[in-house]
Amino acid sequence: MAQMSNKQVVATRHIAGNPIQSDMDLRTSTITLQLPPEASNAVLVKNLYLSCDPYMRGTRGKDVKRIFYSFDPDSPIVGYGVCKVVDSKHPGFKKGDLVWGVTKWEEYSVITLTDSLFKIEHTDVPLSYYTGLLGMPGMTAYAGFYEVGAPKKGDYVFVSSAFGAVGQLVGQLAKLMGCYVVGSAGSREKVEILKNKFGFDGAFNYKEEQDLDATLKRFFPEGIDIYFDNVGGDTLEAALLNMRRRGRIVVAGMISQYELDEPQGIKNLVNIIFKQIKIEAFTVFDYYDLYPEFLETVVPYIKEGKITYVEDIAEGIENGPAALEAMFTGRSAGKQVVLVAHD
């Protein structure tokens, strides 16, 4: 069978920290669009959308092992994507199926770790949403907010990195539940979208605030019931000073800390005693059994226009490295996606 050319984005060196464009290179390989007979349980896919996510950092020596790692030198980057099945030796997938899960940054991929693949049933929503709102980040928001945060109607909710792929949904779920929601983001434009498009009760640009404790006291005169933490560091310090009794801090990430040689000491941790605070870090991988329930909840909201989502779609795999760098520097104007092919 004829070989096809297969454009790939590969890491060119060991990456320590947040990747930048020059850490990656575009190469062209070739691939046969048919699995060999011995490739049992493997799937060959055409990648349609690739996802840029904050976990896609390089490693530092002290890093703890991850579920998977994105940047092996000279190999295509590993990450989430939306794909169409071209050939399958796996009984659960057939040619033409649309799936999302862990794939590689190239036009065509052979996926052997098929456990991470979810078949896409609802195709009357944008397919790219399965990299964000309806994929891993969406499930992160859903599991973290409902399962870890244990929200009640009327709760005061603070979301950091609220414009991010996870934060967008956390805020909207909280509003739909009847909570008061304030989000922080890194630009005035993002703040406006949080308030005007996502319906947050308040939002602020953390880069313009001199004293985050005072900022939170301004937005939360009664204190915070749930802080959905994506950043850690100074924002966490300020939140610890403003939690209400029996408040919950849901920790999805601490992106402010990963690039530091030594993480910042959190001085206000002792406050958890005085207010009986719970701080719980979680991973979405422990909650995927809720994925069907999640879709049943969120898909109707999308169709009714009650949940919306902002994406920043870079067109063409060759623009992947720039898109990934943009996500890490906060320049993306929404959940950062790379469009590889429309179908």
Smallest distance from a copy of itself to CB 268, Å: 7
> How far is 82 from 96, CA to CA, in rounded Å?
13
Burial 210-239 (b: 16+ CB within 10 A, else e): eebbebbeebbeebbbbbbbbbbbebbbbb
Look at the chain and count its residues.
343
Nearest to 272 by CA among 251, 231, 250, 244: 244
175: left (phi over 0), alpha (psi -120 to 50) or beta: alpha
x-marked contacts with a copy of itself along 238-257 as a string, rule CB under 8 A: --------x----x-xx--x
φ, ψ of residue 157 to 5 degrees: the values are -120, 130
Instruction: Determine, following the binding rule CB under 8 A, whether residue 60 of this chain makes contact with a copy of itself.
Output: no
Cβ-based nearer residue to a copy of itself, 196 or 276: 276
Q: How far is CA 176 from CA 180, 181, 182, 295, 298, in A?
A: 10, 10, 14, 16, 11
Catalogue the long-range contacts made by 300-303 (C-beta closer than 8 Å, 24 or more residues apart). Answer: 301/172, 301/176, 302/125, 302/129, 302/133, 302/134, 303/124, 303/125
Looking at residues 63 to 122 of the shown chain, list those that interact with a copy of itself (rule: CB under 8 A). 64
Number of residues in contact with a copy of itself under rule CB under 8 A: 31
Select the residue interacting with a copy of itself from 208, 259, 280, 293 (CB under 8 A): 280
Site for a copy of itself in 202-231 (CB under 8 A): none
Q: Determine if 232 is a binding residue for a copy of itself (CB under 8 A).
A: yes
Q: How is residue 200 written in tokens? A: 């947050």
Q: Is 270 in the site for a copy of itself (CB under 8 A)?
A: yes
d(CA 6, CA 22): 21
Please report how close the Cβ of residue 246 comes to a copy of itself at its closest, in angstroms: 8
Q: Out of 154, 263, 300, 316, which residue is the one contacting a copy of itself (CB under 8 A)?
A: 263
State which of residues 283, 292, 303, 318 lies at the interface with a copy of itself (CB under 8 A). Answer: 283
The distance of closest approach from Cβ of residue 260 to a copy of itself in the complex, given in angstroms and rounded to an integer, is 9
Answer for which of 202, 278, 290, 312 binds a copy of itself (CB under 8 A) is 278
The sign of the dihedral angle between the CA atoms of 50, 52, 56, 58 is positive
Least gap, CB of 225 to a copy of itself (angstroms)? 15
Identified binder of a copy of itself from the candidate list 32, 75, 282, 291, rule CB under 8 A: 282
| Nearest residue (CB) to a copy of itself, 265 versus 305 | 265
Q: Say how far apart CA 60 and CA 40 lie, in whole Å.
A: 35
Q: Using CB under 8 A, which of the segments 46-54, 95-103, 206-214, 260-268 binds a copy of itself?
A: 260-268
Work out the burial of residue 332: count CB atoms within 10 Å of its CB; fewer than 13 is exposed, 13-18 middle, 19 or more buried.
buried
Smallest gap from residue 33 Cβ to a copy of itself (A): 39
- The site for a copy of itself (CB under 8 A) is made up of 64, 232, 246, 251, 253-254, 257-258, 262-283, 286
